[in-house]
Amino acid sequence: MDEYYVERGENENGAHIVHKDCCPSLPAKDKMQYIGVRSNSAAPLKEAANFWYSLSAPCPECITG
């Protein structure tokens, strides 16, 4: 199980990137919204889109597939 965060700021495509807590490109914690501990990456992506930001995307460095 991993901890997940979503970036508060948008990327160049207007998406908010979802990261695992072990990501090498994880921004500072004050620039992130904590999602929580989840067993897979599908749940935090959906939660980020439903609860905080309408457009979210997985981090290409730490979330695959």
Q: Residue 48 above 60 pLDDT? A: yes
| DSSP β-bridge partners for residue 18 | 6, 58
For the chain, report the end-to-end CA distance as a whole number of angstroms.
16
* Boundaries of every domain in the chain: 2-58
**pTM, whole model, 2 decimals?**
0.90
Provide the pLDDT for residue 65.
Answer: 52
Q: Report, as an integer, the average pLDDT of 47-55.
A: 85
* Residue 50 vs residue 56, higher pLDDT: 56
Tell me the pLDDT tens digit for each residue of 4-46. Answer: 999 999 999 999 999 999 999 999 999 999 999 999 988 998 8
CA 26 to chain CA centroid, Å, is 9
